[in-house]
Amino acid sequence: MNIGQAAKHSGLSAKMIRYYESIGLLRPAGRSDSGYRLYGAQDLHVLAFIKRSRDLGFSLEEVGKLLTLWQDRGRASADVKALALRHIDELNRKIAELTALRDTLGELAEHCQGDHRPDCPILRDLESGCCNGHNS
């Protein structure tokens, strides 16, 4: 099938398929006599693997490692589990970070009167972070 059909079948855009090819996640597609990319069942299987991995939040580097492990039938499942556990740790870190951001913004919004007056603790907080040298 051509790249448009592969994109439709995989749920990825043709642009992403070309990108995955360019960075080596997907082997270069075969070409028709007229130069169009051609994809087979194995390519679609790899694209589905990549898409699912990305849907689970794995980075492109991690997807590359997962693909290598997946294609190595002699690999130890412990290697796959270790990569997944590292990813879970990173997700937990991001969740904690987002929770803290949500809580801070919620507190600021709670203290904002939201009326016709110009006083706004949200803007005051944003201003205080921009000019006095502290970073969040």
67, 85: one domain? no
**What pTM, to 2 d.p., does this model score?**
0.79
Mean pLDDT across 70-96: 96
Which of these three, 46, 75, 104, is where a domain ends? 75
Half-sphere exposure of residue 75, counting CA atoms within 13 Å on the CB side? 16
| Chosen domain end from 52, 75, 98 | 75
Alpha carbon distance 37, 26 (integer Å) = 12
- CATH number (domain holding residue 68): 1.10.1660.10
Letter for the amino acid at 16?
M
Same-domain status, 24 and 64: yes
Q: Residue 91: what pLDDT?
A: 97
Residue 133 has pLDDT above 80, yes or no: no
Same domain, 88 and 46: no
pLDDT score recorded for residue 115: 87
Instruction: Let me know: does 10 contact 47? Beta carbons within 8 Å.
Output: yes
**Tally of domains within the chain:** 2
Q: Are residues 90 and 125 in the same domain?
A: yes
Report the pLDDT value the prediction gives residue 47, as an integer from 0 to 100: 97
- What's the pLDDT tens digit per position in 8-22? 999 999 999 999 999
Q: With bands split at pLDDT 50, 70 and 90, how would you rate the model's confidence at 130?
A: low
Distance CA(3)–CA(18), nearest Å, equals 9
Domain of residue 102: give its range.
Answer: 79-131
Report how far residue 4's alpha carbon sits from residue 39's, in angstroms, rounded to the nearest whole number. Answer: 10
132 pLDDT more than 60: no
Does residue 136 lie within any of the structural domains?
A: no
Whether 102 maps to a domain, the answer reads yes
> How confident is the prediction for the chain on average, in pLDDT?
92
Q: Is the Cβ–Cβ distance between 62 and 87 less than 8 Å?
A: yes
Q: Do 30 and 70 fall into the same domain? A: yes
The larger pLDDT score, comparing residue 124 to residue 58, is at 58
Is 57 in the same domain as 97?
no
Per-residue pLDDT band at 121 (split at 50, 70, 90): confident
